[in-house]
Structure 1
Amino acid sequence: MLDANEIAVLGVGAGIKLLLWPAYRSTDFEVHRNWLAITGSLPVRQWYYEDRSEWTLDYPPFFAWFEWALSHAARLWDPRIVDVDRLGYAAESCIAFQRLTVLISELVLFMALRRALRACGGDTAQGRIAAALVFLSPGFLLVDHVHFQYNGFLVGILVYSLAFALEGRDLLAGAAFAVLLCFKHIFVYIAPAYFVYLLRHYCVRGPGGGGGGGTGAAALRLAKLGSVVAAVFGAAFGPFVAMGQTQQLAARLFPFRRGLCHAFWAPNFWALYVAADRALAAAQFPRWLAAAADAGGGPPQLHSATRGRVGDTRFVVLPDVPPLGAFVATLAALAPACAVLLQRRCGPAQLVQAVVLCAHASFLFGWHVHEKAVILIVAPLGLVVAAAPSPRVLRMHTVLAAAGYFSLLPLLFGAQELPIKAAVLVIWMLCALALLRADGSSAWRCLMRAERLYVAGLAPLFALTELAPGVFGRMQFMPLALVSVYAALGVTYAWLGIVAAFLWDPPPPPPAA
């Protein structure tokens, strides 16, 4: 049964989200509307071939079946929603239905957080506050309930998987994570954490970590784990493989034609790399101009560092980065996560830490990362904060959340959304700074002076990029670039701090009841 505080969180959340319904919605709204139509109106064999709309189905099969289930309710609500020829359909009935599906599906996250708190010993005042801040975070409010996506539902499955691990149910944790991968393959970035953890904690050490009965027993547990994961993937992909659609699925799920950076740079290492390239190009431009004049040619052309949603990324001064380069950088950045899991005290708490590190490293160095993926770092980090964090962890959580959530604000570019996104972020940050605690001190008191200055610096940056963008004249991309670069500094700093905290800080004492 839900207690009064939990009902209040749900009520406040539902009220805020209902108020956001009339706000801006992105092309993702039509993406999911079209997927409802594809799965609800066409035979299964056509799902991954349908291309009447540019918004083709490119999520794994379990998400397609999720849309298929929703399409049955959509047909009863408004049959036009599932008309595959009615492109761009956005009647009020359609908007209400799709907004409602996000609201209801997010209950998975709420229940998962509730379970994880009890499993990690964080069912305290601090833990409940941290969980409420995850559930009501600007990431989910702005991206899911305005921009339009289902991140809350998907992160809920991840949190359920972590909760199972915290309960000592490793096999169920592995199965839940396999299910998650079959919903959205972006979570493959954190698969190394699960692979190392399950291999060491479940297969080698055995349930309870008592040593496991030798090599034969370990091999048997490995076979059992492999069978469970294979069964999940077989249920998801088997029907499409049987129909000879393996290559088509691969083409839809892994579109490597896209460039290194999204059109709106995610606040990661590559944003800093692009910014450095543009700064070096600008510094060298007068010399290039003089050389061109001496040679009797025209002025040099500075090509854009990214050409948008698809296309290759090109740099002017610094070397181009191929997909393999991003992959190698990401792989190297995953080393701290593996180090956490290879410690002697490796347990479920270290799995949560490794998931945070894997998500963070992949966000920093991954190929064509979307800015919205910062949610995949902050949400599991909230579980660490819920269970008696060290002061350094709380500091890094504060910097990361401030930078990451601030970087999402340009997604909502309409004038009517300006006060909404500002209010959502400011209220959330004030609550986090005042209510989250470590060693008896609030998050704000835990911050070092430079960290306070960084967080406070978001206010003038907001005024400059949101309230006075006209000062940049013809450089229309400059506000986005400033937001991405400034946020990237915070995200990178937080990664370094989290690595240090998880690898070298002593474990905090258990939370007080």
Structure 2
Amino acid sequence: MKMEIVKDYKNDNFHKDEIRKSWFDATLLRIFILATCFKMLLIPTYHSTDFEVHRNWLAITFSLPIKEWYLSNKSQWTLDYPPFFAWFEYFLSQVAVYFDPEMLKIDNLNYTSPNAKLFQRATVMIADIILVYGVIKIGETFCKSRSSYLILSFLSIFNVGLLIVDHIHFQYNGFLLGILLLSITKVAEVDKESSILQGAVWFSMLLNLKHIYIYVAPAYVIWLLRWYCIKGGKFFSRILKLGSIVLIVLILSFGPFVSQLPQVFSRLFPFKRGLVHAYWAANAWALYTGADKFLSVLWKQLGWLQATRTASMTGGLVQEDIFTVLPTPTPIVTFVVTFASMIPALWSLFTKNEAKITPKHFVRCLILCGLSSFMFGWHVHEKAILTAILPLCTLAVVDKQDARVFIILSSAGHTGLLPLLYPTELTPLKLLLSLVYMMLAGIILTHKFHNSLLKKYEWLYVGILPFVTFYESVLHKLIFTDRLPFLPLAFTSMYCAIGVTYCWLLYYYMYLGDRFQNDITMYKKKEENIIKSKKKHYK
């Protein structure tokens, strides 16, 4: 049996040139087609207000002159993404007019028709081609075996978080994350200047499509500064090249809106929205807010609080909040805490020994930056966890420690997204989706590394997650009927926050201690031991 494993490992190795042919690989093609067919089945399902948000953006960019794009407020769903995304909506609108011109009228608020729904759903699926291309390119760089490459393709293309957020709830995260993967791939090739510059272009474009990716920008800055600018011996010329790329992209993006800049920035950074989102993202602030609610009840019982106002943070609304017992964080406090939590990872990446540094260290630093921003950022959306989960897919297929964190983080992170699908009729679907992906990810990665990746208590935590969803969707209503309506959401957020916090701490411990073990090294050691034991046997 052991000899077969080693034999399979040897036969499984393939070169980067062979991976490039994977566009025509039958298995990858089947994964993509199957995923697309499944997404088509989701077209008639529930969609959130984000559907109307993007329909309204189509109408704004189609019906109004450019100078009014960021000024229009006929709908509450004003344009609040960077200019490149506004242009993305504009180009979509040029096609949308052939499907249903009514959807492009600025006064047709909350307009939904079969053709409009089909068009918008289809655009998300078509845009996912960028995600597939990003997976292919990053697989070329990081995957050293065919099995790793195909597992990466499955975990990424069938990522249940993207299925929930993009193809049911409705957004365009897939193609944005595809661009992120492309930029990672390019900047990872530090010995190729042209590749580095292409990566800088991709990431600059990404920031001007959705500004939330600024949270992982520090990882890019440190990586390019230390391992491209300083290492190359051409510091000033290379800094100038990178700076020129960023400046040119910014001019192309914001230049047409120079007269609207104050309005644009007020839309991009709406600090009056409050610390937590409509329901708490599964982060440190969920635990902090939950602690404040518990203490306020306890203080009241003890007579230390005469009265407490209605808890606005349990109303599912987007608004400014004031804590009852604990200090109320401000935007500047969350910014300082977020940046401070990134510093150890950034410092480690900057000071890493040149003989030991690999592109994996950059990706891990990027993941930690994404996790830190999710943990401590202001008004974090629950779907922002995907910024850490998707890049982690890449490393989960090549290192067992990354795989361990991936199983826990993806399980907790995806479970935290499930309350977005609140209609009762979606309960079986969301339970099935999360459970199947969770089980397949655990089984596939455990089989790949021929070892149980999680500790017993970690498996226990993950195993409870489906029951958390069952309580949130079904059991709470049976027990409490209409009472305590926000309790299941708060409980889900806090339980998932425990897992996300654990992953953040565990990954930091592994990263700073450099405790990752490459699977190829592991298999080589196994091979050497098997050969040695066989020689002893024959002797």
TM-score (norm 1): 0.92
Q: Which one of the candidate residues 310, 313, 324 is aligned to 2:318?
A: 310
1:448 aligns with 2:449: no
Match of 2:219 in 1: 193
Instruction: Tell me, in whole angstroms, the C-alpha distance in 2 between the residues paired with 1:88 and 1:454.
Output: 41
Instruction: Tell me, in whole angstroms, the C-alpha distance in 2 between the residues paired with 1:462 and 1:310.
Output: 23
Match of 2:272 in 1: 257
Instruction: Tell me, in whole angstroms, the C-alpha distance in 2 between the residues paired with 1:355 and 1:489.
Output: 21
Instruction: Tell me, in whole angstroms, the C-alpha distance in 2 between the residues paired with 1:284 and 1:218.
Output: 58
Instruction: Tell me, in whole angstroms, the C-alpha distance in 2 between the residues paired with 1:352 and 1:320.
Output: 33
CA RMSD of aligned residues (A): 1.8
**Does the 8 A contact of 1:257 with 1:310 survive in 2?**
no
Instruction: Tell me, in whole angstroms, the C-alpha distance in 1 between the residues paired with 2:295 and 2:281.
Output: 20
Q: Which one of the candidate residues 258, 265, 269 is aligned to 2:284?
A: 269
Tell me how many residue pairs correspond in the alignment: 491
**Does the 8 A contact of 1:372 with 1:408 survive in 2?**
yes
Q: Which one of the candidate residues 417, 425, 438 is aligned to 1:416?
A: 425
Instruction: Tell me, in whole angstroms, the C-alpha distance in 2 between the residues paired with 1:98 and 1:55.
Output: 17
* Correspondences of 1:352-431 after superposition (within 5 Å): 352-386=363-397, 388-390=398-400, 392-431=401-440
Match of 1:41 in 2: 63
**Could you tell which deviates more after superposition, 312-321 or 301-310?**
301-310
Instruction: Tell me, in whole angstroms, the C-alpha distance in 2 between the residues paired with 1:85 and 1:393.
Output: 49
Match of 1:224 in 2: 241
Instruction: Tell me, in whole angstroms, the C-alpha distance in 2 between the residues paired with 1:264 and 1:92.
Output: 30
Match of 1:339 in 2: 347
Quote how far apart the aligned CAs of 1:437 are: 4.1
Amino acid at match of 1:77: F
Amino acid at match of 1:312: E
Indicate how the Cα distance of structure 1 residues 350 and 187 shifts in structure 2: closer, same or farther if over 3 A, else same: same
* Correspondences of 1:311-330 after superposition (within 5 Å): 311-330=319-338
Quote how far apart the aligned CAs of 1:124 are: 2.4
The superposition leaves residues 353-403 of structure 1 with CA deviations (integer Å, 9 ceiling, x where unpaired) of 1110110000000000010111111001111113x213x322211111110
**Does the 8 A contact of 2:418 with 2:430 survive in 1?**
yes
SS at match of 2:108: coil
**Does the 8 A contact of 1:121 with 1:510 survive in 2?**
no
Instruction: Tell me, in whole angstroms, the C-alpha distance in 2 between the residues paired with 1:448 and 1:402.
Output: 15
Quote how far apart the aligned CAs of 1:459 are: 2.8
Instruction: Tell me, in whole angstroms, the C-alpha distance in 2 between the residues paired with 1:84 and 1:478.
Output: 38
Amino acid at match of 2:288: Y
Indicate how the Cα distance of structure 1 residues 171 and 309 shifts in structure 2: closer, same or farther if over 3 A, else same: farther
1:91 aligns with 2:113: yes
SS at match of 2:312: coil
As a proportion of its length, which structure holds more helix?
2
The superposition leaves residues 398-456 of structure 1 with CA deviations (integer Å, 9 ceiling, x where unpaired) of 111110000111100112211111111111111101111488325xx211011011011
Instruction: Tell me, in whole angstroms, the C-alpha distance in 1 between the residues paired with 2:143 and 2:42.
Output: 34
* Correspondences of 1:10-29 after superposition (within 5 Å): 10-29=32-51
Indicate how the Cα distance of structure 1 residues 55 and 421 shifts in structure 2: closer, same or farther if over 3 A, else same: same
* Correspondences of 1:429-444 after superposition (within 5 Å): 429-437=438-446, 440-442=449-451
**Does the 8 A contact of 1:24 with 1:146 survive in 2?**
yes
Amino acid at match of 1:194: Y
SS at match of 1:23: coil
SS at match of 2:111: coil
SS at match of 2:468: helix
Quote how far apart the aligned CAs of 1:239 are: 1.6
Quote how far apart the aligned CAs of 1:306 are: 5.8
**Does the 8 A contact of 1:389 with 1:438 survive in 2?**
no
Indicate how the Cα distance of structure 1 residues 439 and 143 shifts in structure 2: closer, same or farther if over 3 A, else same: closer
Match of 2:250 in 1: 233
Indicate how the Cα distance of structure 1 residues 420 and 308 shifts in structure 2: closer, same or farther if over 3 A, else same: closer
Indicate how the Cα distance of structure 1 residues 202 and 306 shifts in structure 2: closer, same or farther if over 3 A, else same: farther
**Could you tell which deviates more after superposition, 425-434 or 76-85?**
76-85
Q: Which one of the candidate residues 281, 296, 299 is aligned to 1:284?
A: 299
The superposition leaves residues 286-335 of structure 1 with CA deviations (integer Å, 9 ceiling, x where unpaired) of 2228x85xxxxxx5445333665432121111111111111111011112
Quote how far apart the aligned CAs of 1:121 are: 3.3
Match of 1:295 in 2: none
The superposition leaves residues 155-193 of structure 1 with CA deviations (integer Å, 9 ceiling, x where unpaired) of 010000011123342221111111000000000001101
The superposition leaves residues 30-52 of structure 1 with CA deviations (integer Å, 9 ceiling, x where unpaired) of 00001011111111111001111
SS at match of 1:457: helix
Quote how far apart the aligned CAs of 1:348 are: 2.4
SS at match of 2:396: helix
Indicate how the Cα distance of structure 1 residues 302 and 77 shifts in structure 2: closer, same or farther if over 3 A, else same: closer
Q: Percent identity between the aligned chains?
A: 40
**Does the 8 A contact of 2:316 with 2:486 survive in 1?**
no
Instruction: Tell me, in whole angstroms, the C-alpha distance in 1 between the residues paired with 2:471 and 2:78.
Output: 37
Match of 1:171 in 2: 197
Match of 2:487 in 1: 478
Instruction: Tell me, in whole angstroms, the C-alpha distance in 2 between the residues paired with 1:279 and 1:304.
Output: 14
**Does the 8 A contact of 1:63 with 1:182 survive in 2?**
yes
**Does the 8 A contact of 2:308 with 2:324 survive in 1?**
no
Indicate how the Cα distance of structure 1 residues 56 and 194 shifts in structure 2: closer, same or farther if over 3 A, else same: same
Instruction: Tell me, in whole angstroms, the C-alpha distance in 1 between the residues paired with 2:515 and 2:488.
Output: 41
SS at match of 1:425: helix
Instruction: Tell me, in whole angstroms, the C-alpha distance in 2 between the residues paired with 1:509 and 1:24.
Output: 42
Instruction: Tell me, in whole angstroms, the C-alpha distance in 2 between the residues paired with 1:305 and 1:142.
Output: 24
Match of 1:464 in 2: 471
Quote how far apart the aligned CAs of 1:462 are: 2.4
Match of 1:209 in 2: none
Match of 1:296 in 2: none
Amino acid at match of 1:25: H
